[in-house]
Structure 1
Amino acid sequence: MAIDVQAVRRQTRGVQNVTHLNNAGSSLVSRPVAETVMGHLRREEDIGGYEAAEEAADRLDNVYSSVARLIGAQPNEIALAESGSRAWGAAVYSFPFGAGTRVLIGRTEYSGNVVALRQLARRHDLEIVVLRDDPYGQVDVGHLQRELERGNVAMVALTHVPMANGLVNPAADVGRVCRAAGVMFVLDACQSVGQMPVDVESLGCDVLAGTGRKFLRGPRGTAFLYVRASVLEQLEPVMLDGHSAVPSGANGFEIRGDARRFESWETGVAGRLGLGRAVDYALSLGLDAVQERVAWLADLLRNALSAVPAVTVHDGGLTRCGIVTFSVRGSDAGTVRAKLAHHRINVSVAPLPLDEVISVPAGNPDAAVMVVRASVHYYNTEAEIQRLVRLLG
């Protein structure tokens, strides 16, 4: 079923103000999402925070079911968090790493994840191995297979859609070889959830982190974590409270048996309800239809940019998505972004991946080449894309 673009634009107030091509950063929320968040805040204003949460308890519980349905999981395998990085870290920091074991990552792994893994490597004497890219710029599954065969691998961590490249990594192939090797597979799906179908069984991941603010069009400060039920007991959270565990015996405690062991008691209920509404909105449109339109708009943008002599498009991969990265000869990325912002067109800038992301010197401003990142969503139009290209021509 095709998306009724004019209908979704009528439910998106922001399109009246800006041409928003920064959906990989934070999408424009829909009116139903905004009303859900503000409606709960008004209840907190009227009757009190705890009382409003109690009143919304069933709706809040339904958020777990909605997220589970979105990614093909079970509600007990879902935890909610305030950011994708916190969700990802809650699981990864809980893993029982053995000293001297190896962690395999992709060359386009999210920089925040790399920092976290460096800290864990320092704590646990880990070796971090950066997998090579294949000729298309995506993670080389053959190299992964050979590294797994070498043994002593504790975890494979992969970013599904890199932040500065339009490709989609072959996560299902990675999941297949990790499962065959019996190695934990952690997938950062923050840039893929909401712009394409994501199914944890097909992907074969043990852990998946997603965020609300990007292609799901949810509020900022919302995210979720999936942990496969069969690996849950391997991961003891690094911090517990009265929500994630209860006292047991004289000096003991008992950790929750579901993924909510990674949550804490205090949270922003309004945002979580907004996340649930955003997930339901995406499901109502159909993720296949979303992916079809997003991919079509992105290809339209890539082709139009490629026809501009001063522009170079940097996207790779066999499968591409809604993220389009490019540079303009004679102008740095920040200048291009500022020029477009002057015309009320929102884009962002992002670093191109280096040959070895793990060897980037800390604090070195010359360590990465910045490019412009335009990321489309289903509510964008051909006219908006044409306007961007005309300003660069």
Structure 2
Amino acid sequence: MPIDVDEVRRQTRGLRSVVHFNNAGSSLMPAPVVDTVVGHLRREEDIGGYEAAEEADDRLENVYSSVARLLGARPEEVALAENGSRAWAAAVYSFPFTPRGRLLIGSTEYAGNVLALRQLAEHNDLEIVVLRDDVHGQVDVEHLQLELERGNVAMVALTHVPMANGLVNPAAEVGKRCRAAGVMFVLDACQSVGQVPLDVQALGCDVLAGTGRKFLRGPRGTAFLYVRAALLDRLEPSMLDGHSARPAGSSGFEVRSDARRFESWESNAAGRLGLGRAVDYALDLGLDAVQERVAGLADRLRTELASVRGITVHDRGITRCGIVTFTVAGSDAGGIRRLLADHRINVSVAPRSFPAGTPPEAEMVVRASVHYYNTEAEVQRLVGLLQ
């Protein structure tokens, strides 16, 4: 069923103030999500934090079920976290690396993930291999296959949707190759969750990390982690507390059997409830319908931008998403962002190249990321200002 754009715009109060094309940074939350967060904070104000959490225990528990439905997983395979980077790192840092193993990564990996992998490589005597891009700019699965056949691969880490350039990496094909080789596959889905359907079985990933604030339209400071049940016993968290483990015997300990072994005791209950409401909101709309509208708006924006003299669109890939990147001849990306902000249009900037294989001084591009609540008229307003 198509999305009722008028209704979702009515429920998005921020649209009264701005045109928001920074959904890859942080989307505008719908009213039901904001009301859920604020409502719980009011209960904490009225009766106390622990008491409010106890009162909301069933709803907090349902967040795991909602995330599991979003991913095609089981609730016991889901952990909640304060951000996507921490969720991703909680699993990756727990992997039992052996010296001289190889880590395979894409060329468009998120900078924070690359830094974490470099630290792990240094501490565990590992080699990082950056996989080539194919002619479309996405990860080259044939190069991946060659590296898998060389052997001694400890892990494959891939960002599903890079922070810029508009493409969706062929994660399911990567997962298929990794599963056949018996290699752990870690997928960063922070930019894809909420704008494309995700099914961890079809993707073939062992670990998937996602965030609430981007296309999922949840609160900042919320995220989740999926870890395949069969892998859990191999991954012992690098830090434990009374939530993730319990005493065993006179001097031992026993780690939780489910994915919550990657959580800690204290958490933001209001944020978690907001995350659950955002997941339910997306599921009610239908991720297929979301993807169709987002991709359609993004394609229209690319076409309109490409028709303007002096504007170059830099997006690549066979399958493209809601992230649109471009440059304007004679203007720097930051200046364009400020110009649009003066007209109450939100965009962001991002590096055209990526830290996995390029220097930090890489050229910056304007990043306009659309969502289903944006309209064709807003696209025209953006392009008209640039003209």
Please list the CA deviations of residues 25-84 of structure 1 after superposition, one character each: whole Å capped at 9, or x if unmatched: 000000000000000000000000000000000000000000000010000000000000
Residues 184-203 of structure 1: pairs in structure 2 closer than 5 A: 184-203=184-203
Q: State the AA in 2 paired with 1:308.
A: V
Instruction: Provide the C-alpha distance between the structure 2 equivalents of 1:358 and 1:348, rounded to a whole number of angstroms.
Output: 21
Q: State the AA in 2 paired with 1:387.
A: R
Instruction: Provide the C-alpha distance between the structure 2 equivalents of 1:228 and 1:265, rounded to a whole number of angstroms.
Output: 22
Instruction: Provide the C-alpha distance between the structure 2 equivalents of 1:351 and 1:115, rounded to a whole number of angstroms.
Output: 16
Instruction: Provide the C-alpha distance between the structure 2 equivalents of 1:281 and 1:248, rounded to a whole number of angstroms.
Output: 41
Q: Does 1:328 align with 2:328?
A: yes
1:358 to 356, 364, 377: 356
Instruction: Provide the C-alpha distance between the structure 2 equivalents of 1:187 and 1:88, rounded to a whole number of angstroms.
Output: 8
Q: Does 1:387 align with 2:381?
A: yes
Match of 1:148 in 2: 148
SS at match of 1:358: coil
Match of 2:233 in 1: 233
Instruction: Provide the C-alpha distance between the structure 2 equivalents of 1:18 and 1:358, rounded to a whole number of angstroms.
Output: 34
Instruction: Provide the C-alpha distance between the structure 2 equivalents of 1:195 and 1:359, rounded to a whole number of angstroms.
Output: 27
Instruction: Provide the C-alpha distance between the structure 1 equivalents of 2:54 and 2:213, rounded to a whole number of angstroms.
Output: 25
Q: Is the CA contact 2:108–2:356 (under 8 Å) kept in the aligned structure 1? A: no
Instruction: Provide the C-alpha distance between the structure 1 equivalents of 2:4 and 2:357, rounded to a whole number of angstroms.
Output: 46
How many residues end up aligned between the 2 structures? 387
Instruction: Provide the C-alpha distance between the structure 2 equivalents of 1:89 and 1:370, rounded to a whole number of angstroms.
Output: 27
Match of 1:87 in 2: 87
Q: State the AA in 2 paired with 1:243.
A: H
Q: State the AA in 2 paired with 1:211.
A: T
Instruction: Provide the C-alpha distance between the structure 2 equivalents of 1:351 and 1:105, rounded to a whole number of angstroms.
Output: 18
Q: Does 1:342 align with 2:342?
A: yes
Q: Does 1:214 align with 2:208?
A: no
Q: CA deviation at 1:352?
A: 1.4
Match of 1:103 in 2: 103
Q: CA deviation at 1:353?
A: 1.9
Give the aligned CA root-mean-square deviation in angstroms: 0.7
Please list the CA deviations of residues 315-344 of structure 1 after superposition, one character each: whole Å capped at 9, or x if unmatched: 000000000000000000000000000000
| Percent sequence identity over aligned pairs | 77
Match of 1:165 in 2: 165
Q: State the AA in 1 paired with 2:381.
A: R
Instruction: Provide the C-alpha distance between the structure 1 equivalents of 2:88 and 2:202, rounded to a whole number of angstroms.
Output: 20
TM-score (norm 2): 0.99
Q: CA deviation at 1:165?
A: 1.3
Match of 2:371 in 1: 377
Instruction: Provide the C-alpha distance between the structure 1 equivalents of 2:202 and 2:126, rounded to a whole number of angstroms.
Output: 29
Instruction: Provide the C-alpha distance between the structure 2 equivalents of 1:175 and 1:252, rounded to a whole number of angstroms.
Output: 37
Residues 276-291 of structure 1: pairs in structure 2 closer than 5 A: 276-291=276-291
Q: CA deviation at 1:359?
A: 4.6
Q: State the AA in 2 paired with 1:145.
A: Q
Structure 2 unaligned spans of 5+ = none
TM-score (norm 1): 0.98
SS at match of 1:68: helix
SS at match of 2:155: strand
SS at match of 2:356: helix
Residues 47-66 of structure 1: pairs in structure 2 closer than 5 A: 47-66=47-66
Q: CA deviation at 1:360?
A: 4.4
Which of structure 1's runs of 4+ aligned residues deviate more than 3 A?
Answer: 357-361
Match of 2:295 in 1: 295
Instruction: Provide the C-alpha distance between the structure 2 equivalents of 1:352 and 1:92, rounded to a whole number of angstroms.
Output: 27
Match of 1:183 in 2: 183
Instruction: Provide the C-alpha distance between the structure 2 equivalents of 1:302 and 1:335, rounded to a whole number of angstroms.
Output: 20
Q: CA deviation at 1:358?
A: 3.4
Match of 2:125 in 1: 125
Instruction: Provide the C-alpha distance between the structure 2 equivalents of 1:370 and 1:84, rounded to a whole number of angstroms.
Output: 23
Please list the CA deviations of residues 278-329 of structure 1 after superposition, one character each: whole Å capped at 9, or x if unmatched: 0000000000000000000000000000000110000000000000000000
